[in-house]
Structures are given as structure tokens and as C-alpha cells.
Amino acid sequence: MTSDPRTASLAAYWRFFAAFNSREPASWADALNFPHVRVSGRAPLSLTLTRAEHERAMNWNKPLDSGWHHSVGAEPQVLHVSPDVVHICGGWTRFTEQHAPIMSNQVTYIITRMRVDGIDHWGMQARFGIDPGNDSEAMPAADEALALVDTYLDAWNVRDYAGCAALLHYPAAQVLPGEIVRLPDAASFSSRLAAATWHSIRERTLEPVQTGPTAVNVAIDMTLAGREQAVFLVTRREGRWGIEGRSIIEAGDGHS
């Protein structure tokens, strides 16, 4: 397998859909890295710790009941690249056997490199889903999500860790290569931030890369001690926006 992160992650992206269409639990698990997390605007955090757990739980009953025959991946956009983690904006459309569309979704995929049985394996470690909805609600949702992430970064800059923690929905997920950190509550997250090395954010740009009525994926490019890039999944639950998923990487030579 190629060692170039961009090429390897794109191959993993397309393999993900081929495996899902195979309807074989083992093939589907081959496309993922574990632990694996999935969260979206409509579905709270779902964490699968092991491959065996995933294979036991996986079936295709729900999509099949909708008339599903196969899924087609959206054309991917590579957001951020590092040696071990790549963020890709993509998604899917489900089709009937007659190729009539059933539904579509926007998803940002966190694709990581892990050592599996002594071999480098690029696979899906996390899925930050938007879920379909009314397009007229997208712009206000994007504005609210951007404002919330701005507030979070402002709080980080003054070391207000409790203020940062108050802006999450719990449980939340921090995605790392080969690891998913489940953040159960504000107190534990605040303590985690306080234990991290602090550097002021000197420059930052934020962009809503995928937007729906109940979730927004926000891409962040920022300069601290070095250049870092991130995706934050911001969701609306019970009328309140909050950060529910995070993946932060050091920008690599192949970043976009």
C-alpha cells in the first residue's frame, strides 16, 4: 500500500463504500480502524471498541427495509493531511436497485493510519455526519456554529478551560490515530485541557464545510506553536449548539 497519506486515505475512502455495498461484516470491518466512532446531528455518539464487536452488531436490515440496493460515495474533498490522519469531506447517496436515489448525507471522515498485524492500515476511524434537512436552515446554522467555535477558541486563549468545556455536548469524542477519547462530562474535559501544553492561538480561520439544520462540520486552520488544522462537529441538541466531535492534527507537508 502506498505510504503517501493523501493517496492512501482516498483509497480508504472508496474502499469504505465498496465494503458497505458487499453486505459482508468482515469486509465492512476491514475498511475501519478501531476503536471507531460515529456521531451526527440526529444520532448521539456511538463508540465501537473492537472489530469483533462491530462484526457482531452489524447488519443491513435498516437500509434494506428502505429499498436500498447500493450506496455511492460523494466526490471527496481532502481538507487536511498529516502523516497519520487525514480529514476528508464526503458523503453518500443510497440508491434502489433501479438506481433511484433514496437519501443522501454529508459526512466528514477522519481516516487514520494504524499498525494492524504488523502492517500499516489506513481506515475510517471516525464519521462526523450532518444528516439531511431543509436547506433554508443551513445558513443560520453555519453562523451559529462558527460563533460557538470562535467563542471556544477565545476561551482557550485566556486559559478559561471551564468556559471551553461548557461549549460541548456530552459525551463527546476526541479522535486520535488509533484512539478515541470519550469525554464524559465538562469536569473531565476541563481537567484534560488544563493538563495539555498551552500555546496562544495567534492566527485562525474557520470555515463551515458541511452544514445541515442540526449539525455543522467546521474546518479550522490555526497557528499556535506550529500550524494545526482541525475539524469540529457542532450539533444542536435540545435547542442548544455544542461541540460533539473533535479531530486536531499538526499540518503536514501535503496539507490542502
> For the segment 106-125, what is each residue's pLDDT rounded down to a tens digit?
999 999 999 888 889 999 99
- Rounded Cα distance between 51 and 4, Å, is 25
- Over residues 70-89, the mean pLDDT reads 97
Rounded Cα distance, 24 and 175, in Å: 26
Strands 168-176 and 46-48: unpaired
Does 253 score more than 60 pLDDT?
no
Does domain 135-250 correspond to CATH entry 3.40.109.10?
Answer: no
Alpha-carbon distance 246 to 194, whole Å?
17
Alpha helices in the chain (DSSP H): 5-22, 25-30, 51-57, 61-65, 138-157, 161-165, 186-195
Measured CA to CA, the distance from residue 20 to residue 14 in angstroms comes to 10
pLDDT digits (tens, 9 = 90+) for 151-208: 999 999 999 999 999 999 999 999 998 899 999 999 999 999 999 999 999 999 999 9
Instruction: Break the chain into its structural domains and give their ranges.
Output: 5-129, 135-250
* Sheet strands side by side (includes 179-183): 179-183, 168-176, 240-250, 227-237, 215-223, 203-211
Confirm whether 5-129 and 135-250 share one CATH topology. yes
DSSP 8-state code for residue 85: E
CATH architecture of 5-129: Roll (3.10)
Look at residue 115 in the predicted model and tell me its pLDDT.
85
- How far apart, in whole angstroms, are the C-alpha atoms of residue 171 and residue 162? 16
**Residue 74 in this model has a pLDDT that exceeds 80:** yes
pLDDT at 146 over 80: yes
**Residue-level pLDDT at 135:** 59
Looking at residue 255, its pLDDT comes to 36
To the nearest whole number, what is the mean pLDDT of the chain?
Answer: 93
149 pLDDT above the threshold of 70: yes
Average pLDDT over residues 33-56: 94
Average pLDDT for residues 130-156, to the nearest whole number?
85
pLDDT for 1: 47
User: What is the phi/psi pair of residue 229, to 5°?
Assistant: -130, 150
Average pLDDT in the 80-98 region?
97
Which residues have a Cβ under 8 Å from the Cβ of 137 and sit 6 or more positions away? 212, 213
Nearest to 244 by CA among 34, 44, 108, 35: 44
Q: What is the pLDDT of residues 4-15, one digit of tens each?
A: 999 999 999 999
CA distance 12 to 162: 37
Residues 6+ apart with CB under 8 A from 120: 1, 3, 113, 114
Quickly state the pLDDT bin for 256 (edges 50, 70, 90).
very low
Given a cut of 90, whether residue 105 has pLDDT beyond it is yes
